[in-house]
Structure 1
């Protein structure tokens, strides 16, 4: 009985580890925001860094941005508002380990990743290397 329980725990842990290694999705996008120290139109400027922590490239990275109203406009090729969401870098690929940065001035805003797409060949590559 104890051997069966140990076997079950080992299988459970291995499946959890392999799930964490092979699933690239928007949850692997990390976002950090720091104040630059500058002010524009009386509002603080913020620099946002979006990092792909997955080992595969991700395209069409989408962030939540409902209610985001900066006084300093973000270049649309970096952050394109689309209703309550924003598309990063025109939907282009954000390679593994790469980051994209943009700055804005206004009230602090908490961006959250809400979507992305990963090339299927990368998912297959990851599964072969487990």
Structure 2
């Protein structure tokens, strides 16, 4: 009995470790926003940095952006509105550890990752 229990625990631990190493999601997209110190049309300018903290390439990254209404719009190739979400960098790949940045002027807005596609060939 102890022998079987030992192997079950080892199997369980290995399963958790290997799944943890190979699972990346849009939750591995981190977003930070800081004020630049500039004002445009009486509104503060904000710099948004999106970081892929996953060890895999992610593409088709979308951010929540419902109600986002800047007075200085973001270049559409950087942040393209699509309903309640916005497509980041035209859906291009964001490699592991890479960042994408954009600025806007307006009320502060909290962007959250909404979805992404993880490179299926990634083996971490």
Shared fold (TM-score, shorter chain, > 0.5) = yes
State the 1:93 CA deviation: 0.3
Question: 5+ unaligned residues in a row in structure 2: which ranges?
Answer: none
Structure 2 distance, partners of 1:13, 1:76, is 45
- Unaligned segments of structure 1, at least 5 residues: none
Alignment-derived partner of residue 95 in structure 1: 95
> How many angstroms apart in 2 are the aligned matches of 1:97 and 1:52?
5
Change (3 A) 1:37 1:14: farther
* Offset of residue 103 of structure 1: 0.4
The match for 2:55 is 55
Which secondary structure state, in structure 2, belongs to the residue aligned with residue 121 of structure 1? coil
| Structure having the larger proportion of residues in helix | 1
Hey, what does 2:41 align to over in structure 1? 41
For the aligned residue pairs, the C-alpha RMSD in angstroms reads: 2.0
Kindly report which structure 2 residues correspond to 1:50-129, keeping only aligned pairs within 5 A, or say none.
50-122=50-122, 125-126=123-124
SS in 2 for 1:90: helix
Cα 1:108/1:13, change in 2 over 3 Å: farther
TM-score (norm 2): 0.88
The match for 2:27 is 27
Number of aligned positions between the proteins: 123
Alpha-carbon distance between aligned partners in 2 of 1:15 and 1:118, rounded to the nearest angstrom: 20
